[in-house]
Structure 1
Amino acid sequence: MNVKVVGKESLADGVVRLVLRHSYGGDFPEWRPGAHVDLALSEDLVRQYSLCGDPANRDVLEVAVLREPQSRGGSAHVHDELQEGDRIRVRGPRNHFALTEARNYLFIAGGIGITPILPMIRAVAGDGVPWRLLYGGRSRSSMAFLDELERYGERVRICPQDETGLLDLDSALGSPAEDTAVYCCGPEALLEAVEKRCASWPAGSLHVERFTPRAIDESASSESFEIELASTGEVLTVPPDKTIVDVLEEAGVDVEVSCLEGTCGTCETAVLGGTPEHRDSILTEEERAAGDTMFLCVSRSSSPRLRIDR
């Protein structure tokens, strides 16, 4: 989709919000809390950002972008070069962090991780479902959306690290709850700490979204395997030094990709036979065990051959 930047404003130190509208008018596709889009900032610069606006307002999309100190070009481009009136391309929305039904919700956000959480809060608050939020950041000035969150009162606990220290996860997660869904987004250290404390919670309680890929187990196998394309029956060999995407593209099979790190979900493909070796940062343990989908940019095979929906 071709879009026009119709708004750009600072939300906090190092954070800007972009408001995007169709270049030629019309509504955007429907989306639900937790969704993200790909922003094609230039021909070879594509980045994923969570939607933080109102799903009911389909004439615009809103994203908030943190200037990353170690930016690979995306956040620096947004902050320094992208201006109101500029036109870019958008792919999506896609959602691998969907809001499930629950009797209670505990939201945990670190820094820019508040962006996918914010539409979730609006949704559950509108439905009258009990919820609370722990929101941490380096300092109050670096934390976006504080003004909006203040109206929720005691349901929200704002924890700037320079004022209160790290989030008190032991108190929040120390007692497993049968009827509570935990949603967490933020830096890897926060996600790992939450995952550790939720290990004793009921299966399926925890939902996380990563902005950076998990560390891959160095002991994981990287042997050759075969992929069979269900549409043609063609069988291709994936050697240890290439990904499935590499092999497919060499064979002339078009694969839509974006992050190439197993975090965005663009290359998700159904598995029709064989056992995938998941190396993505998206699927839950239950989804990995089911083995009926995989992400071609990073994952491999635990069986000699995979049959995929291509």
Structure 2
Amino acid sequence: MEQPRQVLVQQMTVEADGVLSLVLVDPVGAELPAWQPGAHLDLLLADGLVRQYSLCGDPGDRRRYRVAVLREPQSRGGSERVHTVLRPGALVDIKGPRNHFRLEPSPRYLFIAGGIGITPILPMVAAAAASGADWSLLYGGRAAASMAFREGLARHGDRVRMVPEDVHGRLDLDAVLGTPRPDTLVYCCGPESLIAAVEKRCTSWPADALRVERFAAPEEPVRDPADESGVEIVLRRSDRSLRVPAERSILEVLLEGGIDVMNDCQEGICGSCETKVLEGEVDHRDHVLTAKEQASNTCMMVCVSRARSGRLVLDL
């Protein structure tokens, strides 16, 4: 189990309406673990709150991390605590970085961001520019004042198109996705409505051309418990076996059995509960792993996924 690391909140900056960025540093000035574009941190807040925030600074700067947090009206407590309680000088525990939204090599990229979804895209844009790849960014938001990091993006000129909805309407996805490009990877992050619209338009694109990162799970048909079956879980390192009944998740049974598994969303979107699979075939139901990663059968999100084989051996 990964142990938390304590960092110091060095600086907090208002980046847009409702958006605060945090600069996090080691309290004694040590280097922080390396990361690549697309990575996120787990912030371990008080009262058991764990929230994921994308790293949006410079991967080459090992002395500081930067994340940005949108104050959500329907917050479960994480963003509200960051905005109202955390202040420069405070200490906070983190885990990670972890990356389920990696920037893969490509001669051309199309980045699409909505609202706070710009955060993981920022270091991707910088990496694409540094690599000499052809790239463009379509960035939408409710209004210009709500769109963070506009000034920094403006220096890229016409490679970046910023579209405040109150002035220009919604993003014209047909214009940028209407013609499939075999040489292009599409990276999208934002609200579920945007991701769903992008996914729909990318059905005619090459397989694996689209990479997304979600803030919420898409709506899916409710599964009938009668169609589910029990699962036997063998914990290799703990030398234990647990039975997961049809009506319960693997995560619930693990936690009830005293197995300390990091978790947050319990919807298969945050990646916190990723667990290494040693044996067995996984019935993947997450929205984190790519189709290729799921097919490799080497890990799973225990909050939502189950077993096709009826038995799984986990590295726990």
Match of 1:259 among 256, 260, 265: 265
Separation (CA, whole Å) in 1 of partners of 2:47 and 2:32: 22
The one-letter code of the counterpart of 1:258 is: D
Q: In the alignment, does 2:183 pair up with 1:176?
A: no
> Percent identity among equivalent residues?
54
The Cα of 1:236 is off from its aligned counterpart by 1.6
SS of the residue 2:66 aligns to:
strand
What is aligned with 2:89? Answer: 85
> Shift in Å at residue 198 of structure 1?
0.6
Aligned in 2, Cα 1:10/1:236: closer, same or farther, shift over 3 Å? same
Whether 2:136 is the aligned partner of 1:132: answer yes
Alignment of 1:284 with 2:264, yes or no, is no
Contact kept, 8 Å, 1:216 with 1:279, in 2: the verdict is no
Measured in 2, the distance between the counterparts of 1:39 and 1:254 equals 17
CA–CA separation in structure 2 for the residues paired with 1:256 and 1:13: 32
Q: 1: CA distance between counterparts of 2:274 and 2:156?
A: 37
Q: How many matched pairs?
A: 310
What amino acid does structure 2 have at the position aligned with 1:46? V
The yes-or-no answer on 1:268 pairing with 2:274 is yes
Partner of 1:38 in structure 2? Answer: 42
Measured after TM superposition, the shift of residue 12 of structure 1 is 0.5
Conserved? CA contact 1:8–1:84, under 8 Å: yes
Rounded Cα–Cα distance in structure 1 between residues aligned with 2:145 and 2:163: 12
Cα distance in 1, alignment partners of residues 278 and 48 from structure 2: 32
Q: Distance in 2 between matches of 1:53 and 1:233?
A: 42
Of 241, 245, 268, the residue aligned with 1:239 is: 245
Q: Secondary structure at the match of 2:175?
A: helix
Partners in 1 of 2:163 and 2:259 — Cα distance? 49
Q: Measure, in 1, the Cα distance between the counterparts of 2:172 and 2:71.
A: 26
2:312 maps to 306
The answer on 1:197 being equivalent to 2:201 is: yes
The question of 1:142 aligning with 2:146 is answered: yes
CA distance in 1: counterparts of 2:46 and 2:66, whole angstroms: 19
Distance 1:164 1:63 in 2: 28
**Could you tell me which of 85, 104, 113 is aligned with 1:100?**
104
Q: Is the 8 A contact 1:37 1:90 kept in 2?
A: yes
* 1: CA distance, partners of 2:260 / 2:145: 45
Counterpart for residue 66 of structure 2: 62
Q: 1:44 to 1:234 in 2, by over 3 A?
A: closer
The one-letter code of the counterpart of 1:143 is M
Task: In structure 2, list runs of 5 or more residues that go unmatched.
Answer: none
CA RMSD of aligned residues (A): 1.6
37-46 or 215-224: which moved more? 215-224
What is the CA distance between 1:266 and its match in structure 2? 2.3
Task: Provide Cα deviations, 1:31-57, integer angstroms capped at 9, x if missing partner.
Answer: 000000011121411110000000111
Q: Cα distance 1:24–1:114, how it changes in 2: closer, same or farther (>3 A)?
A: same
Cα distance in 1 between the residues matched to 2:271 and 2:230: 24
Q: Which deviations, in whole Å up to 9, do the C-alpha atoms of 1:193-212 show, x marking residues without a partner?
A: 10111111111110000111
Structure 1: where are the runs of 5+ without partners?
none
- Distance (Å, rounded) in 1 between the aligned partners of 2:223 and 2:272: 26
Q: Measure, in 1, the Cα distance between the counterparts of 2:94 and 2:220.
A: 29
Deviations along 1:275-303, one digit per CA (max 9) or x if unpaired, are: 22222120122322333321112211222
Q: In structure 1, what is the Cα distance between the partners aligned to 2:24 and 2:97?
A: 13
**Matching residue's letter, 1:255:** V
Instruction: Indicate conservation of the 8 Å contact 1:107/1:117, yes or no.
Output: yes
Residue 151 (structure 1) aligns with = 155
Further displaced range: 17-26 or 202-211: 17-26
